[in-house]
């Protein structure tokens, strides 16, 4: 046998059972081998049989073996062969006898092993993969009939196994099925479980940058460039905003009980209250600030607007209170506590409107709404999605939205997202309204007896008084077209109306609504509307009735049906007349007065708010768009309030919980943005003298000014950058830090040296640290409100008169006498200081020269030299802050070195085991863990005296104003600091302050005003 054949044979025999032996010499069996078992009595041969397996398996003539191996040595004796068998000596003699039973057992074991080996696969390959390559076909993997017939049965068994089954098909349906309306709405409702969508969400998502705020998904700003275009729309045309995310709480009960408890959470000192006669009648909308019960002026809750339902002869009254969603939970909790409404009303589970009648499984359908419908899921296969409205899929039917008081019977209901709210801003709001909306036609007969469409309107049309009221409301609404601007109407005017479906008179393409002044130029009715406003009875609307709103929502004609009716018109594009089938929608129009405070731009930003029943959002939105309005988002609302110089909720309410939370989130986001920049590209705020660039420490500011007032006791001298003046005069605000400032030099680098003295070893002195801790930690304002915002109209009017600039002789005296205010003397302002030692005042600032104020810019008091320089040089921009020394720089460098050492120690494991870090090193590293290069890392020192100019307050919003043509800013200043500044400033420089942005050393002159 050749060597190749021998190797092949050895390979085949390597897996044979141990009982098979092939002797080297030719035997009686064919092929020169013999099968034998050792005799049972022969111990030696038995051992050889067990130990020497597959030895001397090669057969053939002896001369072939003698050629390759020496005499007395076969291949097995030289070691392990390629076939895996080992050589050994086997007796060449035939056994004399065999035991039949033992021989049969051995053969049976061999046969079973062989069958098992044949049945068991030795690899993970499939049947068709074992075929030769020339016999394989691609279709064999999925078509068994392509295999040879002898393998088809095996392949069929493989296919039945779960491992080799085809992958499960995707659980999501094809796009065509997913885009069906009934599936789309169910999917949208599922996606808005965490963040509620408005009904106009889909429209906004295609055109706006969307943000998730306050539990809603809202449009922030348009994707197109529209900053100036939105301002032009607010000024000359019309801007549309969706304010449906604002929350509405409805109070129902006896008028006396309501007014008695509501008087505890507001104050007449701040302006209007719920008892205002014009608002109580339901004729006008009111606005006020709410506080916790009997806690004014502390514990601010936030600003609200309210509308009373006009009296209809019943004992109970209805009141709507509208608020920002960030303020809702605090206000709802306080109202429930005030009215003792702890027990919720019986939970009403609405019956879902399904396409098929499944009375016994309707509740299951509601619960399974929003789940993906899977093929394998029986529940998903049978479930029919409820016909829901986009924006209405998140109201849990098992959650209570109404609470009742057992003692007084007052009911508090949450009407959020039940009433939609749109806002039109601009002088063309009247034209847009009158072109888009048409008063509903009278109807005395039902269109279809089977449906409930307009049944409420038919019943009301049978009453002559209500028909007369509707006609008067329609006449007043038509008169609006002849009014040039909404600001000409009395502020907060309310007009109730019932209109037809606005989708019916939709124009073919976008047009721009324009006023028609000639039509009502000399109309006495228009003049009467200017002077007297809307009558009380015309403020009534059916939108107050929840049953009517529900009927209007459920019986709305779908877009599909409407388009089908349009397709059946004889003349394509002609006006669609639905007749009695046209829906009738009750709405409420509320005038927004715009800018009321100040002397410039009166009435700017005025407009109308439209209140609608839910489900009709897009039906009104698209017709407004087709009248040429421009749509704005959250940023446009922010700019609208900025140009009106009014506080915007919750940004500009630092004394309420929502305002504190907003400031905390803003600080976190700005700090993360600061850390993302490389250290070399960051502004070093420590060198710039900015203690708190990302948050305004209002509590620290008011405490520092209170400490200065207590230390000095009187207001005599103006702020001065020279400390020697403070030392010689002896009774100025600099006395509290005199020991620190005395050692500073009056040269240009005085602040640098001052910082060296304060922190000679990189930390504050013990006295300073105690003082800083006494005034509070850096984020104390985030946890407790230890300051208030002054909102007393009487005091604000007084401060406004004192801040007024005096260009001519005795102009201030004439102004003060005209306003009925007192001249600024110590007898007048000292009682104010004693009453409000830690108060902030809302101010607006206009830059005299160039400059663009930014967020968290510092408002400072100008020194005498600054005012002197300005009077000599009218083009003087302002002084510069000397550069400060970074006292934390060496700490940051030390921390870096420690980190490098730790990294080296980690790389070298042996060094870590032999030389562990000492305890002082770990302590120092823990100390400097929060150190960031460029930021003040210790407790804040006195924020008012940290820079060369005394700090007065901070800017919360600032930018270049398109309305004025210069930089404008809004912010808060300390009342104590403001009175100190006004008392010591010259008569012709009253109200002049300095502004400095956080990342700049340049001060800019600005004019401070208080508008009431």
Q: What is the pLDDT of residue 123?
A: 67
Tell me, what DSSP letter sits at residue 126? -
DSSP state of 853: -
Chain centroid to Cα 91, Å, comes to 91
Alpha-carbon separation of residue 355 from 381, 391, 512 (angstroms):
15, 20, 40
Q: Where are the alpha helices (DSSP H) in 426-573?
A: 429-436, 455-461, 464-479, 524-532, 546-554, 559-567
Q: Which residues contact 984 (CB under 8 A, 6 or more apart)?
A: 715, 716, 717, 718, 719
Residue 614 burial (10 A CB sphere; 0-12, 13-18, 19+): buried
Instruction: Count CB atoms within 10 A of the CB of residue 584.
Output: 25
DSSP state letter for 576 = P
State mean pLDDT over 367-390: 43
| Separation of alpha carbons 722 and 824, rounded Å | 27
Contact 974, 959 (CB under 8 A): no
Contact 268, 238 (CB under 8 A): no
pLDDT at 816: 58
Q: Are 691 and 940 in contact (CB under 8 A)?
A: yes
* C-alpha span between 613 and 319 (Å, rounded): 17
Average pLDDT over residues 111-127: 80
Q: What is the pLDDT of residue 818?
A: 55
Contact 349, 397 (CB under 8 A): yes
pLDDT (mean) for 774-794: 62
**What is the rounded distance in angstroms from the CA atom of residue 237 to the CA atom of residue 935?**
46
Q: Is the pLDDT of residue 337 over 60?
A: yes
Taking alpha carbons only, the member of 927, 923, 657, 982 closest to residue 798 is 982
| Per-residue pLDDT reduced to its tens digit, 593-625 | 988 887 788 888 899 999 999 989 999 999 999
% pLDDT > 90, the chain:
28
pLDDT digits (tens, 9 = 90+) for 295-307: 888 889 999 999 9
Q: At what angle do helices 698-712 and 975-984 cross, to 10 degrees?
A: 50
End-to-end Cα separation, the chain, in angstroms: 117
727: tokens are 């030392």
CB contact at 8 A, 846 and 964: yes
Residue 432 has pLDDT above 70, yes or no: yes
Range 390-419 average pLDDT: 78
Residue 44 near residue 92, CB atoms below 8 Å? no
Q: For the stretch 394-409, what's the b/e string if a residue is b when 16 or more beta carbons lie within 10 angstroms of its beta carbon?
A: bbeeeeebbbbbeebe
State how far the alpha carbon of 963 is from the alpha carbons of 236, 553, 643, 967, 1007, in Å. Answer: 12, 41, 7, 10, 16
Structure confidence at residue 814 as a pLDDT band (50, 70, 90) = low
Between strands 216-222 and 343-344, the pairing is: unpaired
Helix, strand, coil % in the chain, rounded to nearest 5: 40, 15, 45
Averaged pLDDT of the chain = 77
Positive or negative, the CA dihedral 977, 980, 982, 984 is negative
d(CA 996, CA 1005): 9
Residue holding tokens 């092949």? 8
List the single range of 20-29, 203-212, 312-321, 396-405 with lowest mean pLDDT.
20-29
What is the H or E stretch that residue 289 is in? Answer: strand 286-291
Of 7-16, 243-252, 323-332, the range with the lowest mean pLDDT is: 7-16
Q: What is the DSSP string of 218-280?
A: EEEEESS--HHHHHHHHHHS-EEEE-TTSEEEEEEEEHHHHHHHHGGG--GGGS--TT-HHHH
- The answer to whether residues 499 and 440 touch, using CB atoms and an 8 Å cutoff, is yes
Instruction: List C-alpha distances in Å: 278 to 254, 525, 609, 773.
Output: 18, 22, 19, 50
Q: Which of 110-124, 579-593, 740-754, 878-892 has the lowest mean pLDDT?
A: 740-754
Sign of the alpha-carbon dihedral angle for 270, 272, 274, 275: positive
Cβ neighbour number for residue 449 with a 10 Å cutoff: 8
- According to DSSP, residue 351 is labeled P
User: What is the biggest distance separating any 2 CA atoms in the chain, rounded to whole angstroms?
Assistant: 147
Separation between Cα atoms, residue 945 and residue 755, nearest integer Å? 12
**Joined tokens for residue 427:** 């002088």
Least confident of 291-295, 859-863, 925-929: 925-929
- pLDDT at residue 441 is higher than 80: yes
Position with higher pLDDT, 738 vs 532: 532
Nearest by Cα to 405 from 335, 329, 311: 335
- Among 488-502, 590-604, 811-825, 998-1012, name the one with the lowest average pLDDT: 811-825
User: Which SS3 state, helix, strand or coil, does residue 825 take?
Assistant: coil
Which tens digits make up the pLDDT trace of 786-813?
889 999 988 988 888 888 766 554 555 5
* Structure-block tokens of residue 693: 């660039």
- Please tell me the predicted confidence (pLDDT) of residue 840: 93
∠ Cα 342 346 350 (to 5°) = 135
pLDDT at position 991, please?
Answer: 87
> For residue 216, what is the DSSP state?
E
pLDDT at 825 over 60: yes
Q: Which residues contact 854 (CB under 8 A, 6 or more apart)?
A: 955, 958, 997, 998, 999
Which structure tokens are listed for 577?
A: 């007349």
Q: Please spell the DSSP secondary structure of 964-1009, one letter per residue.
A: TTEEEEEEEEEHHHHHHHHHHS-GGGTTEEEEE-TT--B-EEEEEE
The separation between CA 70 and the C-alpha centre of its own chain, rounded to angstroms, equals 91
Residue holding tokens 């009247």? 430
Residue 718 contacts by C-beta under 8 Å, 6 or more apart in sequence?
Answer: 861, 863, 864, 981, 984, 985
In 3-state terms, what secondary structure has residue 678?
coil
Confidence of residue 177 (pLDDT cuts 50, 70, 90): confident
The three-state DSSP-derived secondary structure of 167-213 is CCCCCCCCHHHHCCHHHHHHHHHHHCCCCEECCCHHHHHCCEEEEEE
CB-count exposure of residue 906 (10 Å: 0-12, 13-18, 19+): exposed
The tokens for 609 are 């708010």
What strands lie across the sheet with 196-197, from one edge to the other?
196-197, 216-222, 208-213
Burial classification of residue 313, based on how many CB atoms lie within 10 Å of its CB (0-12 exposed, 13-18 middle, 19 or more buried): exposed
Res. 348: pLDDT tops 90:
no
Bridge partners for 585 per DSSP: 499
Helices 464-479 & 429-436 angle (0-180, nearest 10): 140
Cα–Cα dist 1011/842, whole Å: 9
| pLDDT (average), residues 317-333 | 92
Structure tokens at 177: 């099925």
Total length of the chain? 1012
Q: What is this structure's pTM? A: 0.72
Q: 967-1000: b or e for each residue (b if 16 or more CB lie within 10 Å)? A: bbbbbbbbbbbbbbbbbebeeebbbbbbbbbbeb
DSSP, collapsed to helix, strand or coil, labels residue 784 as coil
Phi, psi of 149 (to 5 degrees): -60, -30
Residues 58 and 77: their CA atoms lie apart, in Å, by: 13
Residue 61 has phi, psi (to 5 degrees) of: -65, 150
| Eight-class DSSP state of 402 | E
pLDDT of 17 strictly over 60 = no
């Amino acid at each position: 046998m050749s060597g190749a054949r021998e190797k092949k044979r050895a390979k085949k025999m390597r897996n044979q059972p141990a009982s098979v032996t092939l002797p080297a010499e030719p035997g009686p069996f064919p092929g020169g081998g013999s099968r034998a078992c050792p005799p049972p009595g022969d111990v030696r041969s038995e051992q050889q049989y067990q130990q020497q397996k597959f030895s001397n398996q090669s057969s053939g003539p002896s001369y072939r073996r003698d050629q390759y191996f020496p005499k007395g040595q076969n291949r097995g004796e030289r070691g392990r062969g390629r076939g895996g068998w080992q050589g050994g000596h086997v007796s060449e003699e035939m056994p004399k006898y065999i035991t039949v039973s033992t021989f049969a057992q051995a053969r049976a074991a061999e046969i079973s092993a062989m069958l098992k080996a044949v049945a068991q696969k030795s690899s993970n390959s499939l049947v068709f993969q074992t075929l030769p390559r020339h016999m394989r076909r691609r279709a064999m993997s999925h078509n068994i009939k392509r295999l040879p017939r002898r393998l088809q049965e095996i392949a069929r068994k493989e296919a039945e196994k779960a491992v080799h089954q085809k992958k499960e098909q995707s659980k999501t349906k094809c796009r065509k099925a997913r885009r069906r309306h009934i599936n789309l709405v169910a999917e949208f409702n599922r996606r808005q479980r965490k963040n509620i969508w408005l009904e106009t969400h889909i429209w906004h998502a295609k055109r706006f940058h969307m943000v998730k705020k306050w539990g809603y998904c809202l449009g922030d700003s348009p994707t197109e460039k529209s900053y100036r275009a939105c301002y032009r729309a607010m000024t000359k045309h019309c801007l549309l905003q969706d304010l449906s995310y604002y929350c509405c709480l409805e109070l129902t009960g006896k008028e006396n009980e309501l007014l008695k408890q509501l008087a505890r959470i507001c104050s007449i000192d701040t302006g209007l209250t719920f008892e205002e006669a014009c608002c109580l009648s339901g004729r006008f909308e009111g606005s006020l600030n709410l506080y916790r019960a009997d806690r004014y002026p502390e514990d601010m809750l936030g600003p609200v607007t309210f509308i009373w339902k006009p009296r209809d002869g019943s004992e109970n009254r209805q009141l709507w209170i509208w608020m920002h969603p960030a303020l809702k939970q605090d206000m709802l909790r306080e109202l429930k506590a005030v009215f003792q409404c702890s027990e919720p009303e019986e939970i009403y589970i609405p019956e879902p409107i399904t396409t098929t009648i499944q009375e016994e499984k309707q509740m299951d359908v509601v619960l399974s709404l929003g789940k993906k419908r899977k093929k394998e899921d029986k529940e998903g296969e049978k479930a029919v999605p409820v016909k829901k409205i986009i924006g209405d899929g998140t109201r849990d039917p098992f959650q209570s939205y109404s609470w009742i008081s057992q003692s007084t019977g007052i009911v508090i209901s949450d009407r959020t997202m039940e009433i939609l709210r749109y806002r039109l801003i601009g002088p063309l709001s009247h034209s847009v309204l009158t072109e888009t909306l048409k008063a509903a036609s009278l109807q005395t007969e039902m269109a279809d007896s089977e449906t409930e469409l307009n049944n409420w309107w038919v019943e009301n049309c049978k009453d002559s008084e209500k028909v007369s009221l509707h006609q008067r409301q329609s006449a007043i609404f038509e008169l609006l077209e002849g009014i040039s601007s909404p600001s000409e109407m009395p502020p907060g005017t309310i007009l109730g109306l019932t209109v037809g479906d606005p989708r019916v008179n939709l124009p073919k393409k976008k047009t721009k609504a324009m006023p028609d002044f000639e039509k009502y130029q000399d109309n006495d009715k228009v003049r009467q509307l200017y002077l007297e406003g809307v009558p009380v009875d015309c403020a009534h609307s059916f939108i107050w009735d929840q049953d009517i709103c529900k009927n209007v929502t459920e019986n709305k004609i779908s877009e599909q049906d409407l388009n089908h009716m349009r397709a059946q018109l004889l003349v394509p594009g002609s006006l669609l007349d639905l007749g009695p089938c046209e829906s009738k929608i009750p709405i409420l129009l509320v005038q927004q007065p715009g800018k009321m405070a100040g002397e410039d731009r009166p009435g700017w930003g005025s407009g109308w708010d439209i209140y609608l029943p839910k489900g009709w959002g897009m039906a009104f939105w698209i017709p407004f768009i087709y009248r040429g309005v421009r749509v704005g988002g959250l940023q446009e609302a922010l700019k609208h309030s900025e140009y009106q110089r009014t506080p915007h909720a919750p940004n500009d309410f630092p004394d309420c919980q929502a305002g504190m939370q907003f400031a905390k989130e803003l600080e976190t986001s700005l700090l993360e943005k600061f850390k993302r920049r490389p250290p070399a590209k960051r502004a070093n705020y420590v060198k710039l003298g900015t203690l708190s660039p990302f948050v305004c420490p209002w509590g620290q500011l008011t405490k520092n000014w209170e400490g200065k007032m207590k230390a000095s006791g009187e207001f005599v001298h103006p702020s001065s950058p020279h400390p020697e003046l403070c030392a010689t005069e002896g009774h100025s605000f600099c006395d509290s830090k005199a020991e620190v400032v005395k050692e500073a030099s009056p040269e240009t680098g005085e602040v640098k040296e001052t910082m060296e003295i304060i922190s000679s070893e990189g930390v504050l002195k013990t006295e300073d640290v105690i003082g800083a801790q006494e005034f509070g930690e850096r984020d104390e304002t985030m946890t407790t409100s230890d300051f208030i915002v002054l909102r007393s109209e009487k005091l604000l009017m007084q401060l406004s008169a004192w801040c007024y600039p005096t260009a001519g002789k005795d102009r201030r005296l004439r102004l003060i006498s005209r306003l009925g205010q007192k001249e600024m003397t110590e007898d007048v302002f000292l009682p104010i200081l004693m009453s409000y030692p830690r108060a902030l005042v809302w101010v607006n600032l206009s830059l005299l020269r160039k400059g663009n104020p930014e967020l968290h810019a510092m408002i400072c008091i100008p020194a005498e030299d600054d005012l002197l320089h300005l009077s000599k040089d009218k083009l003087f921009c302002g002084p510069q802050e000397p550069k400060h020394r970074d006292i934390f720089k060496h700490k940051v460098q030390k921390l870096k070195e420690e980190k490098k050492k730790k990294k080296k120690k980690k790389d070298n494991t042996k060094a870590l085991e032999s030389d562990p870090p000492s305890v002082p090193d770990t302590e120092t590293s823990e100390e400097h863990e929060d150190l960031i290069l460029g930021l003040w890392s210790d407790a804040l020192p006195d924020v008012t005296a940290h820079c060369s100019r005394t700090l007065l307050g901070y800017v919360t919003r600032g930018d270049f104003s398109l309305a004025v043509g210069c930089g404008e800013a809004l912010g808060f200043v300390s009342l104590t600091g403001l009175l100190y500044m006004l008392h010591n400033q010259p008569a012709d420089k009253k109200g002049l302050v300095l502004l400095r942005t956080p990342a700049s050393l340049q001060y800019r002159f600005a004019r401070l005003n208080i508008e009431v």
